[in-house]
Amino acid sequence: MNFFKSLMASCLGVILAMVVVFFIGSMIIGGLLKSASKNEVSVKSNSVLNLNFKETIPEKTDNLESGSFSLKDDKTYGITDILKTIEIASTDDDIKGIFLDLSDVNMGKATASTLRKALVDFKEKGKFITAYAEGYSQNAYYLASVANTVYVHPLGDIDFRGYAAQIPFFKDMLDKLGVKMQVYYVGQFKGATEPYRLEKMSDPNRLQTREYLEGLYQVYLSDIAKSRNTSVETLRSLANEYKIRKAEDALQYKLVDKIGYRDEVLAELKSKLSLKEADKINAINLEDYASAKLKDPDLSIKDKIAVVYAEGEIVDGKGENGKVGGKKYADLLRDIRMDDKVKAIVLRVNSPGGSGLASENIWRELKLAKEAGKPVVVSMGDYAASGGYYISCMADSIFAQPNTLTGSIGVFGIIPSVQKTLKDKAGISFDTVKTGKFAASFSPFFEINAEEGKIIQESVDMFYDRFLKRVSDGRKMTKEKVHEIAQGRVWTGTKATTIGLVDRIGSLDDAITCAANLSGVKKYRTSEYPKTKEKFQKLVDKLNGDEDEDKELFAKSILKSQLGEYFPFLEEIKSIKNMKGPQARLPFVIEN
């Protein structure tokens, strides 16, 4: 009897295993078939490239984490590949123009500026751009303003009021809760700690905020003025007096060319394409066009320039996609240093900073790469601030966009004390037995005394001094000079070039060309890092990986979909919770 039970159990196990194998195999085949069909996209003649930017644009394609277990071969194209795609379209006889569908735009200021330049180049090739939205955000209008024809919905409007910083302060709330934020920092402009220790902005922080906002706004107005054939002064006056309140105002003051519904925009597109009313517009989206036109690098070329994308918060350990893990990037840079085919490194930085320890480890590997004879060039995106500047400062040359935010050379540490909260709100108190004077120190359950506070401040001061030394050595300036422009102060890319933190204004392509010149290579190919895994490999990793980590990613994707624009605030709270050691990070993130 036991024999038959065992036999039946074994048979059942085999059947279940076969079902699982069949299921996974079906997913693989389905995914491959979808991928194959995707790559066979044909671009018809007399087509229009349809662009919208509803999803956050990463620096590198698919450099965002997802909680999904789907094998669907959809890519989130990074700004680098988007620019390449628009450039290809500009010389493609089958593409007659671009339709910008801009009802929702999600990207940073420098990213928008880079994308806008690509659109200008496209239009200068003699092709048309038509823009439409039911309502334009300031970022959306910045892109739309380059178009030959700018449409707005009859009930739509344009948010054209200027830039403002709205910073939440938590001190009163924390006081009411009984939570004491014990803050230690260096730099009078290091505003990252102010929401936890002040009730409003300090004068130095208000000064720097006003200056960098004005710098960003000047770039915004200058570019729009050039495209719309008007003056910066006129645009500034329209914003200051809030003249653009409805679609008719936008038309009157020539911010748009026409008021119309989507069907009227499509009718005009048909006219531009010499189509009849009953004809269908050959519209192709970015994803399909890119999959059909973007080419793989020529692997027969041996010499490589490594383009390393350091995007997101700098964190200790490995870090997930969209974050710069100190260990992950140190290991990656070490492998690149050991690769004889790599002749130079271009570090593309789009980071507000983070962990001081992780920043130091990444800096170390870049320094070793330079010592090994590989030139290092930095290209800055929306942000390269605090820890983001820490990992940039040793480069042979640094490029930034005019509206990049950089600098913020300062350090802080925060240790919350919940002793009063637990005592007053929950009736919980703590006592301790310790073998040494500081054995129970620096705990959230006891307030930090003067002697302990002095130790923490010395640690923060020490790291700030190290930060100054790193910048001093990298930029060939005295520490005293660096200190004058440091103290946590944020600078735009344009201003950073005048004070020596950045060498020149330029694009990622400019940085790659510079790296090639410094290395002396004439014929090369670029190789992007970190490598992006295929959908199926990601699925296998999830099935074989840390179950708790997968659950966290899945929960994160759900929260993001539910919270929408409020999700970054949750991430900020989580980031504060996970802080360890001295922090070098930007005090804010610009919302678009």
Q: Each residue of 363-419: pLDDT tens digit?
A: 999 999 999 999 999 999 999 999 999 999 999 999 999 999 999 999 988 899 999
Give me the pLDDT at residue 174, please: 92
User: Could you tell me the pLDDT band of residue 7, with boundaries at 50, 70 and 90?
Assistant: very low
> Across residues 194-221, what is the average pLDDT?
95
Give me the pLDDT at residue 453, please: 93
| Max CA pair span of the chain | 94
> Across residues 449-460, what is the average pLDDT?
94
Q: Is the pLDDT of residue 28 over 60?
A: no
Within this chain, domains 47-160+244-293 and 304-532+540-585 share the same CATH topology: yes
User: Could you tell me the pLDDT band of residue 21, with boundaries at 50, 70 and 90?
Assistant: very low
Fold for 304-532+540-585, please state it.
2-enoyl-CoA Hydratase; Chain A, domain 1 (3.90.226)
Strand runs labelled E in 430-540:
490-492, 504-505, 525-529
Give me the pLDDT at residue 297, please: 85
Summarize pLDDT for 462-475 with one digit per residue, the tens: 999 999 999 999 99
Q: Is the pLDDT of residue 71 over 50?
A: no
> Across residues 249-267, what is the average pLDDT?
97
Lowest-confidence range among 80-89, 109-118, 132-141, 574-583? 574-583
User: Could you tell me the pLDDT band of residue 5, with boundaries at 50, 70 and 90?
Assistant: very low
Please tell me the distance from the alpha carbon of residue 234 to that of residue 251, in angstroms, as a whole number: 15
- Strand 405-407 with 376-385, pairing: parallel
Q: Is the pLDDT of residue 244 over 90?
A: yes
> Domain boundaries in the chain?
47-160+244-293, 304-532+540-585
Long-range contact pairs involving 450-457 (C-beta distance under 8 Å, separation at least 24): 453/182, 453/184, 456/182, 456/184, 456/413, 456/415, 457/184
Q: Is the pLDDT of residue 484 over 90?
A: yes
User: Could you tell me the pLDDT band of residue 76, with boundaries at 50, 70 and 90?
Assistant: confident
User: Could you tell me the pLDDT band of residue 570, with boundaries at 50, 70 and 90?
Assistant: low
Active site (annotated) includes residue 441? no
* Catalytic residue, candidates 84, 180, 190, 538: 190
Summarize pLDDT for 502-535 with one digit per residue, the tens: 999 999 999 999 999 999 999 999 999 998 765 5
Q: Is the pLDDT of residue 583 over 70?
A: no
Q: Which comes out higher in pLDDT, residue 160 or 35? A: 160
Please tell me the distance from the alpha carbon of residue 316 to that of residue 311, in angstroms, as a whole number: 14
User: Six-digit token pair at 440?
Assistant: 């129970």
> Across residues 201-224, what is the average pLDDT?
96
Q: Is the pLDDT of residue 134 over 50?
A: yes
Q: How far is CA 341 from CA 140, 338, 458, in A?
A: 42, 9, 44
Please tell me the distance from the alpha carbon of residue 301 to that of residue 283, in angstroms, as a whole number: 35
Long-range contact pairs involving 211-216 (C-beta distance under 8 Å, separation at least 24): 211/495, 212/405, 212/490, 212/491, 212/492, 212/495, 213/163, 213/164, 213/165, 215/402, 215/403, 215/492, 215/494, 215/495, 216/109, 216/163, 216/403, 216/405, 216/492, 216/590
DSSP classification of residue 460: H
* Catalytic residue, candidates 113, 227, 351, 386: 386
> Across residues 220-246, what is the average pLDDT?
97
Superfamily of domain 47-160+244-293: 2-enoyl-CoA Hydratase; Chain A, domain 1 (3.90.226.10)
The DSSP result for 28-66, as a single string, is: HHHHHHHHHHHHT----SSEEEEEEE-S---SSTT-S--
Quote the mean pLDDT of the chain: 87
Give me the pLDDT at residue 20, please: 47
Active site (annotated) includes residue 386? yes
